[in-house]
Structure 1
Amino acid sequence: MKEITAKEVQQTMEQGGKLNLIDVREVDEVEAGHIPGIIHIPLGLLEFRLPELNKRESYIMVCRSGGRSARATQLLESNGFNVTNMIGGMLAWEGKVQ
């Protein structure tokens, strides 16, 4: 499983890099604060929403601490997606939050 740190994601965004971030936390968690520009797909709905995603794109999975996003990363990898887990999740995030 590919991994990226929250700091690496933040630096890429600050340098103008385009990232596809999928936040797999629940609605109330996302409403409490999320990285600007995320795609919100709760983990329990991810397998049903796979058709919305593009296999030619790469995705970075985000959750609270990195556990749910690791499961989401495995699910997407097993379905042929290019995906990376953001280790540490939102607990490690020091960038802007909406």
Structure 2
Amino acid sequence: MEVMSDFKITKEISYEDLKALLGKSQNLFLVDVRNKDEVDKGRIPGSIHIPVNTVGDAFSLEPEEFKDKYGVTKPPLDAPELVFHCQMGRRGQMATNKAHELGYMNARNYTGGYKEWSEKEGK
């Protein structure tokens, strides 16, 4: 598969920016791509759990199927605030890259992950 050389710019979001979005944005679509065991130990409020190995399939679903499976409306391709996160950033980056491949050009990775979130939130 051919990849454009300037395409590998993964968009990222900081803890501060994510915290601000959580406080004010109705459009934030936050996806937790960790495994179920990790999510059961704690999660960022408002996040949707879609494991990293299922992100491609999930975001390829028809909107009705997506809503049936995850209980939320599938974000449009031009969703302004689509954010993926994992525990420490690597799986979040993989998920963000997958979303970009599917046409979600504004998808971003919260690189600090749940590890940073829980430290800053004092969990």
TM band (smaller chain): 0.7 to 0.9
Aligned letter for 1:60?
V
For residue 91 of structure 1, report the CA deviation from its aligned partner.
1.3
**Among candidates 47, 58, 64, match of residue 87 of structure 2:** 64
Counterpart secondary structure, 1:35:
coil
Asked if 1:17 is matched to 2:25, the reply is: yes
> What per-residue deviation string (whole Å, max 9, x for no partner) do you get for residues 37-80 of structure 1?
11110011111111233313241001000000000000000110
Aligned residue pairs total 96
For residue 96 of structure 1, report the CA deviation from its aligned partner.
8.2
User: Which range is displaced more, 84-93 or 48-57?
Assistant: 48-57
> What per-residue deviation string (whole Å, max 9, x for no partner) do you get for residues 2-61 of structure 1?
1111221012223x2231100000011111000111111001111111123331324100
Looking at structure 1, the residues matched to 13 and 99 of structure 2 have their Cα atoms a distance apart, in angstroms, of 16
Looking at structure 1, the residues matched to 35 and 103 of structure 2 have their Cα atoms a distance apart, in angstroms, of 24
**Among candidates 61, 74, 94, match of residue 97 of structure 2:** 74
List runs of 5+ in structure 2 lacking aligned partners.
1-9, 67-73
Instruction: Report the identity percentage.
Output: 31
Aligned letter for 2:47?
I
Root mean square deviation, CA, Å: 1.7
TM-score w.r.t. the length of structure 2 is 0.71
Deviating runs (4+, > 2 A) in structure 1? 94-97
Give the strand-richer structure, 1 or 2: 1
Structure index of larger Rg = 2
List runs of 5+ in structure 1 lacking aligned partners.
none
